[in-house]
Homo-oligomer: A and B are copies of this chain.
Amino acid sequence: MIETIAPVAVDAMGGDNAPGAVVQGAINAARKGTPVVLVGPEALVRRELARRRPRSGLPISVQHASEVVEMHDHPGQAMRRKRDNSIRVCFQLVKAGQASAMVSAGNSGAVMAGAIFVLGRPAGVERPAIISALPAPRGAPILLDMGAVVDCKAIHLVQFALMGEVYARRVIGVPRPRVAILANGEEESKGTELTRTAAAALRRSSLHFVGYCEGRDLLTGEYDVIVTDGFTGNVALKTMEGTARVVTDFLKGAFRSSPLARLGALLAGPALHSMRRRIDWREVGGAPLVGVSGVGFIGHGRSDALAIENAIRRAHAAAGTHFTDEIAAAVAPSGALLVEADGTLAERSARRSAAQADA
């Protein structure tokens, strides 16, 4: 028996190219069989839909929401003051079981705030995180947190590891995900007090925890779940984006530098195009929240129809795995792991001081 999964609630008003690109992305996803509820000012959304003349019978409906959260709005205030905003209504549909998941390319702080206010967190979760699917040539590594929790404590990192492992296993389908903490070197002695404490706790966990990884390992596919605080995660992801842009810009410049180079670029065209596709964030399909009681995907603010379509389809697939059911059990041991690790670290530090005094 095939389980019928409720449609994906899509914030029609989220992102730089909303509502046009969002409505088009929703139509594309519906064409491929994913049911969608577009959420936003009804007249506006219906006009955008009509303009695109989708064939009748597509699984698309519209849910009215009168207000819009702007990119510059303070997330918490927007949720409290604009009670009928499209992000909040999306989450209400998820909460009520009328949607299986939600997608928004709008104010990401407001999406996180809406998720916490409306859906709440599974028992024991300290702070939800945002997962970034990394555009690696091999494997399907994820990094979390990509920006929600900037001033992190060790308990947060430990929980990110435990929650990320559930996501990699249930949604991505990695049987035994290799989990690492992002640091400034691979040796145990590297890192900050924060990462050393979290690493000590994760070494005692049931995860396949492999220790530290470095910035250059993000795209190798050697690690499945890469854990970091939201500050470092944001810096790493944007550095990746900026570097890829500079290298491809260099390339374009190089290809224009001489008639022979231009001919070369023309002949290599399809190969170059396939490369660009593989490192294209639009193919990745948004960033899932983890640690809230339901499925939400944050789209890139610059999302076009392709990015929205991919986010909708991935959100629907993720919801079908019911991975959120496993989160509370996954984070349950986090506190105890840290308490045990604390004892180990204190012992080691004492041994190290003794060794240095001998030296």
Select A219's contact among B193, B230, B242, B263, beta carbons within 8 Å. B242
Interface residues in A244-297 (C-beta closer than 8 Å to B): 244-251, 253-255, 257-258, 260-261, 263-272, 274-275, 278-279
**CB nearest neighbor in B for A243:** B243
Contact with B along A214-229 (1 / 0, CB 8 A): 1111111000000010
When distances are taken between beta carbons in the complex, the residues of chain B under 8 Å from A219 are: 242-243, 246
Distance (whole angstroms) from the CB of A240 to the closest CB of chain B:
5
The count of identical subunits is 2
Task: Check: A77 CB closer than 8 A to any chain B CB.
Answer: yes
B260 touches A267 (CB 8 A): yes
Cα distance, A249 to B228, chains bound together (Å)? 26
A326 within 8 A of B: no
Residue contact B271 to A257, C-beta cutoff 8 Å: yes
By the criterion CB–CB under 8 Å, are A359 and B77 in contact?
Answer: yes
Is B184 a contact partner of A150 (Cβ separation < 8 A)?
Answer: yes
Beta-carbon nearest neighbor of A271 in chain B: B254
Residue pair B264, A231 in contact (C-beta under 8 Å): no
Residues of B within 8 A of A246 (CB): 136-137, 219-220, 279
Known contacts A184-B230, A243-B244; is A235 also within 8 Å of B215 by CB? yes
**Contact flags (1/0) for A141-155 with B, using CB distance below 8 Å?**
000000100110000
- CB of A98 within 8 A of chain B? no
User: Across the interface, do B239 and A147 meet the contact criterion of CB distance under 8 Å?
Assistant: no
- CB proximity to B under 8 Å, residues A91-126: none
| Contact between chains at A150 and B254 (CB < 8 Å) | no
Q: Restricting to A166-191, which residues have a CB under 8 Å from any CB of B?
A: 182-185, 190-191
13 A-B pairs whose Cβ atoms sit less than 8 Å apart in the complex: A80-B359, A150-B184, A184-B234, A216-B242, A218-B243, A220-B246, A236-B236, A239-B240, A251-B275, A253-B275, A254-B271, A254-B275, A264-B266
The 8 residue pairs across chains A and B that have the minimum distance between CB atoms = A215-B238, A264-B268, A264-B267, A216-B242, A254-B271, A215-B239, A184-B234, A264-B264
